[in-house]
Amino acid sequence: MAGLINNLLILLLVFQNSCLGFRNPLSVFKRYKDTTRSLSSECLGNNRPVISLGLTDFALDIRMPGVTPKQSDTYLCMSLHLPVDEEAYVVDFRPQASMDTVHHMLLFGCNVPSSTENYWDCDEGTCTDKSNILYAWARNAPPTRLPKGVGFKVGGETGSKYFVLQVHYGDVSAFRDKHKDCSGVTLHLTHQRQPLIAGMYLMMSVNTVIPPGEKVVDADIACHYQKYPMHLFAYRVHTHRLGKVVSGYRVRNGQWTLIGRQSPQLPQAFYPVEHPVDISFGDTLAARCLFTGEGRTMETHIGGTASDEMCNFYIMYYMEAKHAVSYMTCTQNINPDMFRNIPQEANIPIPVKSDMIMMTHGHHHEETKKTDDSFSLKQPKREEEEVLDQDFHIEEAVDWPGVNLKLGQVSGLALDPKNNLVIFHRGDHLWDGNSFDSSFVYQQRGLGPIEQNTILVIDPSNADILDSTGKNLFYLPHGLSIDKDGNYWVTDVALHQVFKLGVHDNEPLLILGRSLQPGSDKNHFCQPTDVAVDPVTGNIYVSDGYCNSRIVVFSPNGMFIMQWGEETSVGKAKPGQFRIPHSLTLVPEFGQLCVADRENGRIQCFRSETGEFTREIKHKLFGRELFAVSYIPGGLLFAVNGMPYPGDIVQGFVMNFSTGEIIDTFIPVRKSFEMPHDVVASEDKTVYIGDVYAKTVWKFTSTEKMEHRSVKKAGIEVQEIKAETVIEARLKNKPVSTESQKKWEKHHIVEQASPGISFVLITTLLIIPIVVLLAIAVFIRWRKTRVYGADADHKLESSSGRILGRLQGKGSGGLNLGNFFASHKSYSRKGFDRLSTEGSDQEKDEDDGTDSEEEYSAPPPPPVSSSS
């Protein structure tokens, strides 16, 4: 009887396989080797996206629906709904693409795609909610199969309901024959519960600049790991043409353990981690990309086009299901000094045969560039553009104690007429999902107004609190502005009102809007976000707001003048349309008002007198959202974006207002941006950013101020200039560019505070103190020789050794310029990093456990003891 049952089971299995043979799933998974140059009718994804692989498994074919990109560096997206409601696990990825047509692909998981169209331009975004990167492919990489028992969780109550495929078409010369592209990826999913959940950790450099002709350029990334243990099983490297090698490491107790190392010019697959590597609480993850600028005639920056560069190190990991985190990022370098100990292998390019490079680049030699940025209604060049100083970099003032102030949610920042920083925060009140009903009526009136002072005046140098006000007035503070007379102008999204407050007045001088009554007429606001006051006319501009999409203008005494703006329509946002006008800044020199159009990820500028649209500033680097904007006289515009989406970097921006060009980007060293909410800048390029989630304020300064500081010597005020470029070039016998030489000479000769003082006189004044010190030293030596005899030699030698040691550095046999100048406070090491091979005297960042790049809302797990 048992034998009969066994025979029947075997026949059943044979019959089942025969039936499945008519649509054999293996044919789907083998198609990754075939070319993608097929017509849309041949795309499996259009006709049969779901293929059964048995009782518990199925394949999902995600393909572009037959598209023909019309210009190079086009990013197209499409989405596919998960065909099941219950939980499923992705255990295999099979690419269906060729480097002949596709530069790279990314697969995201989310719940709300940015569009319901068959496909769309990814400039509109990938998802409107939080999304996770599940897979990445480039350069004819082979398939990726996860270890047994490991899967990416999708569906169910907490997993993603949609897959969104993003395809970057680099060079459209491949589409000269007008064929339709159906590239994509095939997933193998199972309903069998996987005990280990997979995730993606992305390490990415965001501010690397590769000078033209430079032989070796390093891009370093490092972050502390402060979550539950994860186990690494695969890695992938990604750069464009200038990348030579990318290496990733775990650093534990000073020991570097290799995760993976590969040439980005080889197929950019997920390669297995050769030796198991676990990451525990307190470890550091570090990566280095090695570039060359040879063959380039212009600087190369990090960006999204083929002629830009990228430095990405992807890590696939798995965690226990109960602690699983699906996606993490690292975009900082929390300890640059540690890279002095990086293994030498990270600095050695991996040789790649020329025929392999040809294959991975798809045989295309032409580099076409489409700008990542849109800047509509470009203005004619003004004369001041030619001399706008762009030779600076914004960096965090790491010794400023204001980052440790005890604050509530920081919603607004401003500078008063004395250049003091003014902070508007929410005390013990929080804006969360219970704060408003569906009609935007505030639901927590029972809490009463905030009992703490919500407006704090801070000394910009030492962060001392100079003054405070705003107690028992507000429920949910938001925007802050200060007029030329020093009056505070604030908005409260719970009260739906705008207030004018005197510095020492307990009662408002002016109130706009009706208390706790949302509306959209001349007398009501609906969660107004910001306010600005024209210094000339006194007119009041209000951005209204979260539930209205308009700018409202009032006279100085509060009379309605006009309004403009409308809600963003379906598709690409048009001029004058808003999706949360979140922040305002006036540009008096140009008679304009600029608005941070938050959810549209752009800046819109209008003529302040008429509301006429003048320009849009939008960059891919902004990402999905742009939270705040601030202008300073001289033509500089500062901005900050918001909460990160996959592929977005939360950072600050400096722009040339006239051209819209990004001059610089910056991020903090201490802590990390979580949800930066407001930015304000002063004329000396000091920048403050307040974060509503981190509940803190960062101060950033320009390195220009550190390198060009006024000092007094011998009673004569001169301008001390640190000419790193000239010195470095001379020490290396490198020619100095004419422009740099002229600039250096101009600073050294023309811009002295006293033009009549000759070079000889200044040199004499500088030498006099040295001569005096030497005379004193000789006198002391003579005296000690007479008094102590031979013992004085030893004592004097010891004293001299201490002085010379500060010049030479420990263990050094010669003068170390890098360490010598680094010993001076506020010195920028720019230009001297490569002169020194000894230890640096540069101040290290305090490791206080708050440098983690990732957001973490739950309490951190206890440190886990683990072996090396």
- Which are the catalytic amino acids? 103-104, 166, 168, 238, 240, 310
Longest dimension (CA), the chain: 117
Q: Which two tokens stand for residue 659?
A: 């051209």
Q: Are 294 and 216 in contact (CB under 8 A)?
A: no
Nearest 5°: phi and psi at 106?
A: -130, 140
DSSP state of 547: S
Rounded CA separation 298/256 (Å): 35
Q: Quickly list H helices, 552-625.
A: none
Question: Cα separations (Å) of 684 from 394, 703, 708?
Answer: 11, 11, 12
Within 13 Å of residue 472, how many CA atoms lie on the same side as its CB? 2
Name every residue whose Cβ is closer than 8 Å to that of residue 95 and which is 6 or more positions away in sequence: 32, 105, 137, 141, 142, 143, 185
Q: Which two tokens stand for residue 578?
A: 């808003």
Question: Cα separations (Å) of 378 from 92, 236, 429, 615?
Answer: 48, 40, 43, 7
Q: Are 168 and 104 in contact (CB under 8 A)?
A: yes
Strands 421-425 and 410-415 turn out to be antiparallel
Q: Are 539 and 531 in contact (CB under 8 A)?
A: no
Which H or E run includes 387? helix 383-387
Q: Which two tokens stand for residue 107?
A: 């697969």
Place of tokens 């209000």: 542
Question: Cα separations (Å) of 442 from 299, 447, 482, 518, 544?
Answer: 51, 11, 26, 9, 16
Q: Which one-letter amino acid corresponds to residue 698?
A: W
Q: Are 686 and 396 in contact (CB under 8 A)?
A: no
Rounded CA separation 846/396 (Å): 14
Burial of 160 (0-12, 13-18, 19+ CB in 10 A): buried
Q: Are 414 and 422 in contact (CB under 8 A)?
A: yes
